[in-house]
Amino acid sequence: MDPRSRLVMLVISALLAACSFGYQARGTLSDVAGELRGKGYPANRGGGAFVLSDSDGRLICDGKTSAATAFPNPGNCAGERGEGLARCSDGREVPLRWEAISCRSWKGSGIDAQGNRLEFRVERR
Q: Is 18 helix (H, G, I), strand (E, B) or coil?
A: helix
Which pLDDT does position 21 carry in this prediction? Answer: 61
- Cα-based distances in Å from 28 to 22, 52, 79, 84: 20, 9, 22, 17
Tell me the CA end-to-end span of the chain in Å, nearest whole number: 35
Q: Is 19 helix (H, G, I), strand (E, B) or coil?
A: helix
Q: pLDDT (tens digit, 9 = 90+) per residue, 52-107? A: 999 999 999 999 999 988 888 888 889 999 999 999 999 999 999 999 999 889 99
Which pLDDT does position 5 carry in this prediction? Answer: 52
Which pLDDT does position 19 carry in this prediction? Answer: 47
Average pLDDT over residues 11-17: 43
Which pLDDT does position 49 carry in this prediction? Answer: 95
Q: pLDDT (tens digit, 9 = 90+) per residue, 15-53? A: 444 444 689 999 999 999 999 999 999 987 778 999 999
Q: Hey, what's the torsion of the CAs at 85, 78, 30, 52, to 10 degrees? A: 60
**CB crowding 50-69: b at 16 or more within 10 Å, else e:** bbbbbeeeebebebebbebe
Which pLDDT does position 10 carry in this prediction? Answer: 43
The answer to whether 82 and 66 are in contact (CB under 8 A) is: yes
Domain boundaries, the chain: 22-124
Closest by alpha carbon to 119, among 100, 98, 105? 98
CATH of 22-124, one of 3.30.420, 2.60.120, 2.40.128, 1.10.3470: 2.40.128
Give the model's confidence band at 2: pLDDT under 50 very low, under 70 low, under 90 confident, else very high: low
